[in-house]
Structure 1
Amino acid sequence: MGDGEHWIREKTVLHRGKLTVSAFALAAGMLPTALHAQAAGSGDAVGLSEVVVTAQRREENLQKVPVSVSAFSAAEIKDKGITSVADLENRVPGFTFGRSGSDARPALRGVRTENVAVNGDTTIGYFVDGVYMSRAQQAMLGFVDLERVEIQRGPQGTLYGRNTFGGNISIATAKPKFSGFESGVDLTYGEYNRFRFEGFVNAPLGDTVALRLAGAIERSDGWVQNDYPSGRNLFDDDSQYFRAAVALRPNDALTADFKFDYVRSRGAGGSAFGYKQVGTYYYTPTNQQLFNATPIRLNARPGLRDGVIDAPLTIDAGAPLHRPGNVWRIDTDYPTNLDLRNYGFTANIAYDLGAVTVKSITGYTDFRAARSSDGDFSSSQIAIDYQLTAAETFSQEFQLISDDSGPLTYVAGAYYFRDELRGVFINQQLPRIIRSVTPNLNLPQNGAGFYDEQLPVTVSYAGYAQASYAVTDRLKVTGGIRYTEDRKDFKFANANAVLPLAGTPGVPQGTLITLQTGGIPASAFGTKGAPTNCTYTSLPAPIAGFQCLASNTAVLTGATYATKRFDRVTWRAGVDYQLSDNSLLYASVSTGFRSGGFNSGQSGAAAPTFNPETVTAYEFGSKNRFFDNTLQLNVAAFNNLYSGLQEQRQIPAGGTTITIVENSGRSRARGVEVEFTWQPVEALALGGSFSYLDAEYTRYRDVGLPFATSILVADSSVTAPTILNGVQIAGIGQRRLFAPGYNCSPVAGTGGTGQPPLAIGCDLSGKRIPYSPEYSGSLYAEYEIDLGDAGTLTPYAALTFSGAWYGQAVNSILDKQEAFEKIDLRLTWAPTEKLSLQGFVTNVTDEQTSTRFVYGGGGALQASYAPPRQWGARASVRF
């Protein structure tokens, strides 16, 4: 078979997209299983092709795997213009994709990625060629020349391990082939001056060595327009990607694949936490901020006061929002910057001993992302934020994989992982220029800045095994177990050790913190286990390892915590029954966990450590092919019980906010997911997905709201102190108001030894888990028109939809994304098998949908949003 014939065959097998549909409402989305008509003998038969996945760490037919998994082939990735994880949202049942700046925030079955700082781990595992990526930002890199993308839904704690709490995203890059020389180029041009070049070359270098090179260059202007004259548009692109892969096949038993890749991305990026202000809440009769009172659509960031009364208030509370009805327009004076790079090396080596294969998977990555942004989200000069995330990661895994010759099949392995991280957050306060009024106001800077540097190190060990036994030709039972031990070290420091001092005893001058502040000496971090020299009495109380200034021991400079160990046994048990050759029933129960971690101790609101979160997941499913292999219908019902979900909170720290992590009580997510693909005739492909999800906190108490959980107001009619649960919450002539709609009360133990509680907390039990719409999915249709000698013309249309969801556990009206639908259209002309031309429009109706909400400084809600309508054209050539 010649090179061209090989490419044609691959195109025929994988070309037609799939998607998935709701069995109940024909509401559905792009089934991630390769769908094309494939010749069977005569070449005239219509049928869906077999899809191979590695969800159980071995190659298997998707329809025989008793796991909820969706897979996208190389052809579908190309034909549907999938260039990042974001493009998979709602094409996989129950999968939503949040994003803020360069941070990926996927969500599955009531589990979402909220904390992306270095003190936390990913919630949904991200693997490239079997190697775990430790930072959420890495999920946005390198969708170039892929072989397959799999998304596994539900905990994968046995075969994949820690931090696969909600599921996995697994990427398989295209491997070198020995079948002949191949090459290809894809060129894309689109709106916002988008230009993308993607290409690959595959070259056998003899019978035992093959080489494959792949790369991409992308340039585009930002699709969030900055109206400030010297500001930068957001979400531009200036990126390069390169990959070199070598395959060795010295004999029939040994396979060795080596890969090096590099990515660099620069430009404005998309800010770090959100780029658009939404507003805040005030109790208008007294001009006090009170959560969930009256929504006030203004920018309330600290220091942003323009001297104008902000109705319906009778005070100056901030500045008007810039174009509040348009989420793709901003007005920020500081030019946002992003500089991200990632190096990676992977070695996959396997030796077939006959009954068992021995496999080694080695991975090394060196990742760094630095970004700065306008800290006040306005055209005024007030503050700048800077964030650095760096990770140097090494992992080694050994596996024993049985063959399929007997009733017993198994996978066993040992795993080692080391992750050295660095995270820096700086907030610099500037001399203020308030530009929302004319003439501009010139004011002194709004107090001190903030500096936090964190240096976590994680070393993890694991051993695991999973086996399946065929009791009969149709009945199979599966059991698996894994032991994981994480040893985590953590140190942090602030800028107190390097700032000039004033007064006696000397107090560090936080007003001098800038983006260039750094060079923190090792002594500022303290020493693990060493007696503290600190004498301050506020929270958090100093412990061994805490370090204060020698000249003023009431001033904390940093700390090194004692090593914390998190270990867990996770397991899986399942049974599956092959009703017929084309119908599988399965049931399983499995567990998973996400490791615990540390808070930096910069605030008394944070406990030094937070615990692991755990899940027990029950699933029942069915996988089917009907009507002479033309209809595929997969259904899964699940009930996931969570304990101690790690919740991220923002708390005030000077003119900014810092992030802490705490454990909630209990929660659960239950629902049904449906995928379908139908090819009634060879030219027509239909598909879709649907997810129903009921995800809520069943116990989550004593929670501080993002700001102003309660306020005191004057009330002359009150003649005696107000006592609640034995605690005085208001004095004579005062009345305490709690956040409307919440059940709040004093939190026991927050006032110190022998003191009444100082904190007010609320019961969030019954609130929906963020990023968990009750329903979501998509539908698609594709029809190939035969033009004879002119080739084929293929129109394609896809509808994705979602019910409403909340961006915060508090479930307030400001952080609610309403239900939406989006339409994508594509038209592909393929005059020959080696050439295709495509035009496309995404988000045809220009829907404005959020990808993340977070409360920041001043109690202001900030948000990020998905792209607007965009058009483009692509030419693809294969040689």
Structure 2
Amino acid sequence: MKTTVLKTKQRAITPIQFAVLVLMAGSTAAQAQNAATADTQKPTAAQAAAAANNSDKILEVLVTGTKRTTSLQRTPVAITALSAASLEDNHVQTLQDIVNLVPGFSATAQGDHGVMTMTMRGVGNDSAKTEYADPEVASFIDGIYSPRPEGATALLFDLEAIEVLRGPQGTLWGRNATVGAVNMQTAKPVIGKSFGTVEGGAGSYNRLGMRGAFNVPVSDSMALRFAFVNEQHDGYVDYQTMPSIPLASQRAAFIAGGGAAADFQPINTNLFLTGGMKYGAQKQSAVRLSMLWKPTSTSKWDLSYEKFADRGAPNMNLMQTPRAGQKMWSALIDTAPSIKRDSDSLRSRFETALSDDVSLAYIAGYAKFSGSQTFDGDAGVVVPTSFATGGSHREHNTNSSNYVNYSHELEVQSTGKKEVDWLLGLYYAAETNDIRFDLPIMNGTQQGTVGWQGSFIQPKETVASKAIFGQATWNLSDSLHLTGGARYTKDDRANIGGRGYGWANYPATPATVAQIPVNQNVNPWDPNSGFGPPGLNDGVYSGSKLTGLARVSYDMDKNNMWYASVSTGYKSGGLQDGGRTYAAETLTNYEFGTKHTLMDGAVKISNALFYENFKDYQFSAPVTNPDGSRTLATTSAEGAKITGFETEIAAKLTKDDKIQVSLAYTPKAKLGKLLAGSNDYVIPTCVADKTVSNCVDVTGVTMAHTPKIQMQIQYQHTIQLGNATLTPRISVHYESESNLSVFSDYFGAPDKQGAYSRTDLGLRYEGDKFYMDFFVRNVGNGNVKTSAQNGNTGGIWVAQYLPPRTFGVNAGFNF
């Protein structure tokens, strides 16, 4: 089925026609509505979809990517806009669910921290999951930056739209939007109307879901909206049973490994899990209370409070080649999975007209997060031969992680269309983090002796960012527009009291040292703990940068336009273990784009051709130092050079038939000079760089998660059933081969994801108020790797994968 769809498209149109057609799929997948029109009831996702189905045109999409409400097809920026209806149709819950809808975008799950890391146009950072590393793709909720991915991307619900902006967005959007920004817009209250929606769902892996939203008018100038969601399903990874090993064999292995016969003990098979929550399980819930108040005819205040809780399990590293007799989605597990995350967020936006020509907006945000997590780091790849030989017990335990961040932004801008449209702003953000991460590694099983273990304790790390920015567009005529913008950013970081403790590896371990896995009740600074003197991580960092934008756009007529731009992106430098600093990274992006509306609105196309010159790319990885200590190190690569083409198309073939196509073609994404080390991989001894024990020259490697071709085709047909509709749909995603890390060219296939396609199916019944939506995802049940490693598993290759085939149904009622 998948091959037929792709080949049919190739025979039907020429490559040039295809490049023109493929332009707009993701972009015009939206029917995003302008939040400023909140005094009338907005259509629900179902009503918006129905309106689109009853038209022979692609509906106009309004976006706010330039911090003004503009038509998508008249906005000179590469934007993909996904409406509430599109998000619902594609069963979007996390950013990983929308990557198929956005060209040149990837989001991968990284196991031991269980968070999303994002790559756009070849630039990303898989280590942007700790307090040390920031992402190159910035996440925003209602325009408020979310510095840590746990809260922003964990569970998307009750959204009005998602806008994905590609290319540097730092001038207007600020922190860490080096290569792009994702802005999630929550649904807002509506004054004067009472309405709501309730939905329930069920599916494979005992999936149960419930969500809803209620709009409550309070007065002629105020309304409230309450939204909730709960999603849960069993994990994908089954438990393997510990093989039965004769006692004689265990004793012989123990003695052969240097153990004394008097110290022998049998393997405690109860240490290996056979039940309970499985890896990959979901158990998440959230609630949001929103308020809209319009105290005057020219002012309004949006305020929301959101609480999120996660009690699920992280994804699991699985053996790429399973042991004989074992299933792919199974593992021998001796560390129970757990996630405990709680976050509270407060978001506020107040805007008012200062005059007929000038408006002011004050945007503020506050978030508090706390969490812990356990993860099986050895992945059960080797069956132990005795309680202290043969295998390895390795835990990655985040005992506690807390952060508090807040931000303030003040914007003043012109209103209406003037000869010069301008915006000025001030920004301040601050963040405080603390974390304790323990890494016990035991020989054989938990009963065995210590192989090595570490405890990384960071009591306080602070971040402060200040910025002033402005942008102006000179409308030289009704058709020709020149835009210039600049942002000056000042960043300060401090690590206060951070310590990294490593096992001392005594030649003859004193009897007073307990051979037990380190845990939060162990004080590694105790002389009898077995840990040596700690590494000191105290340090300060301060840096600043001026970034900018220059753009020209020309409206050829009301249906066609082009733009050309040069923009720069910036991500702050910072601190690493040992209190050492690392440099900021910068990106210069050259882009030419076109947008077209054809056939009286039945076809809409967006194109972007870009070249990126990336400097001082920050590569972060856990490494072993020449003295045997282990740290998280950040190295600045020389940079990278990336070229690519993106196109998105949406077309109404008939009133009842719609096709969407998106394509990203990235022929070049080459990393500059870099000697890279990482304990996640078995790599040779480093002779060119004496700062780490092991390294590989990865200069010229293709950037990770950047396939040369990434394509998505979606088709749906609407069947009219009187006052109801029945809409089957199919979505096919294709990617050519891609690297999973900077080491992929060195290791080859185990560290790559080969070319693949995945197909999703859906069938939606839409009545007057009731709807049902059936879906199957990953129809072919293919295994697609998102990350790989062999360093923590004795050279045996493991990987994390996208979910296997899932299916289910959602049913809802609008009132």
TM-score range, shorter chain: 0.7 to 0.9
Work out whether residues 452 and 505 of structure 2, in 8 Å CA contact, stay in contact via their aligned partners in 1: no
1:694, distance to aligned residue in structure 2 (A): 2.9
Work out whether residues 213 and 244 of structure 1, in 8 Å CA contact, stay in contact via their aligned partners in 2: yes
Partner residue, 1:59: 69
Work out whether residues 593 and 613 of structure 1, in 8 Å CA contact, stay in contact via their aligned partners in 2: yes
1:180, distance to aligned residue in structure 2 (A): 0.9
Partner residue, 2:739: 806
Equivalent of 1:589 in 566, 584, 602? 566
Q: Which amino acid is the alignment partner of residue 216 of structure 2?
A: A
Equivalent of 1:484 in 485, 489, 500? 489
Work out whether residues 495 and 513 of structure 1, in 8 Å CA contact, stay in contact via their aligned partners in 2: no
Partner residue, 2:373: 371
Give me the whole-angstrom Cα distance separating, in 2, the residues matched to 1:664 and 1:345. Answer: 38
Alignment of 1:99 onto 2:99: no
Partner residue, 1:819: 755
Alignment of 1:865 onto 2:801: yes
Alignment of 1:200 onto 2:213: yes
TM-score (norm 1): 0.78
- Which shifted more, 151-160 or 419-428? 419-428
1:269, distance to aligned residue in structure 2 (A): 2.8
Instruction: List per-residue Cα deviations over 1:276-321 (Å, max 9, x = no partner).
Output: 244xxxxxxxxxxxxxxxxxx6xxxxxxxxxxxxxxxxxxxxxxx5
Instruction: List per-residue Cα deviations over 1:558-578 (Å, max 9, x = no partner).
Output: 535342102100100000000
Alignment of 1:465 onto 2:465: no
Partner residue, 1:617: 589
Partner residue, 1:725: none
Q: Which amino acid is the alignment partner of residue 840 of structure 1?
A: F
1:389, distance to aligned residue in structure 2 (A): 3.2
Partner residue, 2:200: 187
1:493, distance to aligned residue in structure 2 (A): 3.8
Work out whether residues 231 and 331 of structure 1, in 8 Å CA contact, stay in contact via their aligned partners in 2: no
Equivalent of 1:382 in 378, 388, 393? 393
Partner residue, 2:5: none
Partner residue, 1:250: 295
Q: Given the superposition, is the C-alpha separation of residues 682 and 81 from structure 1 closer, same or farther in structure 2, using an over 3 Å criterion?
A: same
Q: Which amino acid is the alignment partner of residue 485 of structure 1?
A: K
Instruction: After TM superposition, list the pairs within 5 Å mapping 1:738-777 onto structure 2.
Output: 746-747=687-688, 750=690, 762-777=696-711
Q: Which amino acid is the alignment partner of residue 487 of structure 1?
A: D
Give me the whole-angstrom Cα distance separating, in 2, the residues matched to 1:640 and 1:382. Answer: 44
Equivalent of 1:874 in 793, 805, 810? 810
Partner residue, 1:735: none
Instruction: List per-residue Cα deviations over 1:477-532 (Å, max 9, x = no partner).
Output: 000000001000013544759x9999999999585552224678xxx8xxxxxxxx
Instruction: List per-residue Cα deviations over 1:754-777 (Å, max 9, x = no partner).
Output: xxxx96754322210011000002
Work out whether residues 451 and 513 of structure 1, in 8 Å CA contact, stay in contact via their aligned partners in 2: no
Instruction: After TM superposition, list the pairs within 5 Å mapping 1:419-818 onto structure 2.
Output: 419-430=431-442, 432-433=444-445, 444-454=448-458, 455-491=460-496, 493-494=498-499, 511-512=515-516, 514-517=518-521, 556-559=533-536, 561-601=538-578, 608-652=580-624, 658-704=631-677, 709-710=683-684, 746-747=687-688, 750=690, 762-789=696-723, 791-811=724-744, 812-813=747-748, 814-818=750-754
Q: Given the superposition, is the C-alpha separation of residues 856 and 759 from structure 1 closer, same or farther in structure 2, using an over 3 Å criterion?
A: closer
Q: Given the superposition, is the C-alpha separation of residues 670 and 206 from structure 1 closer, same or farther in structure 2, using an over 3 Å criterion?
A: same
Alignment of 1:847 onto 2:790: no
- Which shifted more, 224-233 or 58-67? 224-233
Give the SS at the match of 1:747.
Answer: coil
Partner residue, 1:265: 310
Alignment of 1:124 onto 2:143: no
Instruction: List per-residue Cα deviations over 1:428-452 (Å, max 9, x = no partner).
Output: 2447349xxxxxxxx7324332101
Give me the whole-angstrom Cα distance separating, in 1, the residues matched to 2:240 and 2:209. Answer: 26
Q: Which amino acid is the alignment partner of residue 135 of structure 1?
A: R
Work out whether residues 28 and 649 of structure 2, in 8 Å CA contact, stay in contact via their aligned partners in 1: no
Work out whether residues 466 and 491 of structure 2, in 8 Å CA contact, stay in contact via their aligned partners in 1: yes
Give the SS at the match of 1:77.
Answer: helix
1:24, distance to aligned residue in structure 2 (A): 2.9
1:45, distance to aligned residue in structure 2 (A): 6.2
Q: Percent identity?
A: 25
Give me the whole-angstrom Cα distance separating, in 2, the residues matched to 1:234 and 1:159. Answer: 40
Work out whether residues 624 and 694 of structure 2, in 8 Å CA contact, stay in contact via their aligned partners in 1: no
Work out whether residues 512 and 528 of structure 2, in 8 Å CA contact, stay in contact via their aligned partners in 1: no
Q: Given the superposition, is the C-alpha separation of residues 467 and 510 from structure 1 closer, same or farther in structure 2, using an over 3 Å criterion?
A: farther
Give me the whole-angstrom Cα distance separating, in 2, the residues matched to 1:93 and 1:482. Answer: 27
Give me the whole-angstrom Cα distance separating, in 1, the residues matched to 2:74 and 2:591. Answer: 16
Q: Is there any run of 5+ residues in structure 2 with no aligned partner, and where? A: 1-15, 32-46, 242-273, 385-391
1:855, distance to aligned residue in structure 2 (A): 4.7
Partner residue, 2:153: 140
Q: Given the superposition, is the C-alpha separation of residues 140 and 34 from structure 1 closer, same or farther in structure 2, using an over 3 Å criterion?
A: same
Q: Which is richer in helix?
A: 2
Give me the whole-angstrom Cα distance separating, in 2, the residues matched to 1:780 and 1:503. Answer: 63
Instruction: List per-residue Cα deviations over 1:813-869 (Å, max 9, x = no partner).
Output: 221100110111101112x22111121111001110012224533455442110011
Q: Given the superposition, is the C-alpha separation of residues 212 and 660 from structure 1 closer, same or farther in structure 2, using an over 3 Å criterion?
A: same
Give the SS at the match of 1:63.
Answer: helix
Q: Which amino acid is the alignment partner of residue 309 of structure 2?
A: R
Q: Is there any run of 5+ residues in structure 1 with no aligned partner, and where? A: 1-20, 279-296, 298-320, 435-442, 525-548, 602-606, 712-744, 752-757
1:701, distance to aligned residue in structure 2 (A): 3.8
Give the SS at the match of 1:765.
Answer: coil
Report how many residues are paired: 730
Q: Which amino acid is the alignment partner of residue 835 of structure 1?
A: F
1:550, distance to aligned residue in structure 2 (A): 11
Give me the whole-angstrom Cα distance separating, in 1, the residues matched to 2:142 and 2:665. Answer: 31
What is the root-mean-square deviation in Å for CA atoms of aligned residues?
A: 3.3
Work out whether residues 701 and 761 of structure 1, in 8 Å CA contact, stay in contact via their aligned partners in 2: no
Give the SS at the match of 2:545.
Answer: strand
> Higher relative contact order by CA 8 Å / sep ≥ 6: 1 or 2?
1
Work out whether residues 155 and 591 of structure 1, in 8 Å CA contact, stay in contact via their aligned partners in 2: yes
1:49, distance to aligned residue in structure 2 (A): 1.4
Give me the whole-angstrom Cα distance separating, in 2, the residues matched to 1:506 and 1:153. Answer: 58
Q: Which amino acid is the alignment partner of residue 729 of structure 2?
A: Y
Give me the whole-angstrom Cα distance separating, in 1, the residues matched to 2:514 and 2:25. Answer: 52
Work out whether residues 202 and 210 of structure 1, in 8 Å CA contact, stay in contact via their aligned partners in 2: yes
Work out whether residues 668 and 695 of structure 1, in 8 Å CA contact, stay in contact via their aligned partners in 2: yes
TM-score (norm 2): 0.84
Q: Given the superposition, is the C-alpha separation of residues 849 and 261 from structure 1 closer, same or farther in structure 2, using an over 3 Å criterion?
A: same
Q: Given the superposition, is the C-alpha separation of residues 385 and 242 from structure 1 closer, same or farther in structure 2, using an over 3 Å criterion?
A: same
1:363, distance to aligned residue in structure 2 (A): 0.2
Work out whether residues 20 and 605 of structure 2, in 8 Å CA contact, stay in contact via their aligned partners in 1: no
Work out whether residues 429 and 511 of structure 1, in 8 Å CA contact, stay in contact via their aligned partners in 2: no
Work out whether residues 647 and 661 of structure 1, in 8 Å CA contact, stay in contact via their aligned partners in 2: yes
1:55, distance to aligned residue in structure 2 (A): 0.7
Work out whether residues 448 and 655 of structure 1, in 8 Å CA contact, stay in contact via their aligned partners in 2: no
Q: Given the superposition, is the C-alpha separation of residues 862 and 666 from structure 1 closer, same or farther in structure 2, using an over 3 Å criterion?
A: same
Give me the whole-angstrom Cα distance separating, in 2, the residues matched to 1:851 and 1:22. Answer: 32
Give me the whole-angstrom Cα distance separating, in 1, the residues matched to 2:326 and 2:393. Answer: 24
Work out whether residues 335 and 374 of structure 2, in 8 Å CA contact, stay in contact via their aligned partners in 1: no
Q: Which amino acid is the alignment partner of residue 317 of structure 2?
A: Y
Alignment of 1:358 onto 2:360: yes
Instruction: After TM superposition, list the pairs within 5 Å mapping 1:232-243 onto structure 2.
Output: 232-243=277-288
Q: Which amino acid is the alignment partner of residue 191 of structure 1?
A: S
- Which shifted more, 66-75 or 846-855? 846-855
Work out whether residues 448 and 512 of structure 1, in 8 Å CA contact, stay in contact via their aligned partners in 2: no
Equivalent of 1:162 in 137, 157, 175? 175
Work out whether residues 110 and 770 of structure 1, in 8 Å CA contact, stay in contact via their aligned partners in 2: yes
Give the SS at the match of 1:250.
Answer: strand
Give me the whole-angstrom Cα distance separating, in 1, the residues matched to 2:501 and 2:729. Answer: 59
